[in-house]
Structure 1
Amino acid sequence: MTELITAYPWFAERNKHLAELHRQKRLPHALLIHGMQGIGKALFAKSFAQMLLCQQPESGKACGVCKSCELNAAGSHPDLFILQPEEAGKQLKVDQVRALGEFIYSTAQQGGYRVVVIDPADSMNIASANALLKMLEEPGSDTLLLLVTSKMGQVLPTIKSRCQHIECVTPDTEVAISWLMSEGDLDEERARGVLTINRGAPKEALAYLNNNLGEDRAQLIRGLADILKQRRSPLEVAQAWQKLDLELLLGWLYSLLTDIARGALCENDDSVRHEDARNMLNAVAKKLTPLESLN
């Protein structure tokens, strides 16, 4: 059997739902797949695209043996268009989006669907989004556009309104821990701790391990502790953090603040989830009233 992209196990219900829409011939022409970063939305979109292009899908999955599956596995299916920025973190250029026109309005070479995956959809500026609007309104028959985003607030309302939304939530904790234990070769306690640091996002947790981000995390915790104990000023700590990934840093800070609020409201030391900062977070939480923690 040809090796194809497989969605993560926690997407089984979402995949079943879309496969059923396809079976009933009720699949819309555009889906906006959204949810937090690090749970595997893009892989899910590509996996569903492979199923849709498969000539003999089985139980909502690509068969892996037909000609279409062979082309997908080789990354050369003529009816699949993956649209991404030329560089990670950059915007999709309007010329890149306009290039979709010829693909969308052509005849499918394999006689089935034409599928476009746009990842991330929030990388479009006003010009590139406007170039996509007409295609979303009149995409042609047997065409599906899959837009993927972790930042719904940065997707233009005109794009959102023309898509059916597929919300992807973080997976069940035990399912995520089991997957992380297998992929990261971890024991349960370590897997649970890393998953908590990364707000329950399994892929983000695995990247944390693979990229050796433990020291960056430790630097964050040390800096906050130094501020609280007045060993360093906030400015000194901020300067020490300059080389850290800002988006990553903000995500960690958000999680720590959530733990502080939880600790203040519950008045229970066990309500704090971040083991690597438990004592510090509990100490801060005890100095707050519930009203202050909510503000």
Structure 2
Amino acid sequence: MEFGILGPLLVRDDAGRSRAVPAPKQRVLLATLLLRRNQVCSPALLAERLWDGSPPRGETAALHNAVLRLRRCLVQAGDRIETCAGGYRLVVAPDEFDVHRFTELRAEGTAALRDRGYERALVLLDAALSVWRGEALLDVPSEALHREESGRLADERLCALEARVEAELQLGRRSVVPELQELTAAHPGRERFWAQLMTALTREDRPAEALSAYGRVQRLLDEQLGVHPGPELRELHHRILRADRPFPAPLAARVPAQRIPRAALRQPRELVR
């Protein structure tokens, strides 16, 4: 089986066939159970998610019926929803859930980046980002789930993007400036993307554009948040002004050819790769 919430809700059986979960309440129920997979979810928690804090009269029977309908949707996997003392539990192996796969690949990629294994980091982080199919919980209509989970997952994805761009900067095999221009436009409060853009521009002997980028983020942070750029951006700005060379050549330029903050002010409707 395969389950996914990094995009529209996904259920795929052992034969690779997609299983539709058409009812909104069933999607909310499945997403809640997935996010707490292999743990017992209390009826109170499930009711709060299903009805966004305003459960109907007879909520116990309504919840029981919702679980029964979801089991029928999952067909042969319906028995994975177990009735336990204290609630319900969905049994899911780690590699069956897209959030787990993303989290593991991102952790391995970030560790490789710390160890300066830039090529390995790039492969792992690309694989982690490829798990995403769209905005998390895209078709799951629950204000509580979006409030508590969507932002956290989106931030983890942006951290993975920052790490992948860093790996690409270190490898220096292509210009990452166009991608970073898109990322800073889509996530203007993400200071790390601005620092990476300034670094990439300076390495390409475009210091005037790097200084212009600093001016843009400085104005944006002042106007929208009333704060100044953080220490990393300020230090980078000073180094560019002093015409220092704090930007060592990327790996591809140093090695023979034989041989990769702050929460976003807003989230785009479409994912930027």
TM-score (normalizing by structure 1): 0.27
Structure showing the higher helix proportion among its residues: 2
Structure showing the higher strand proportion among its residues: 1
TM-score (normalizing by structure 2): 0.29
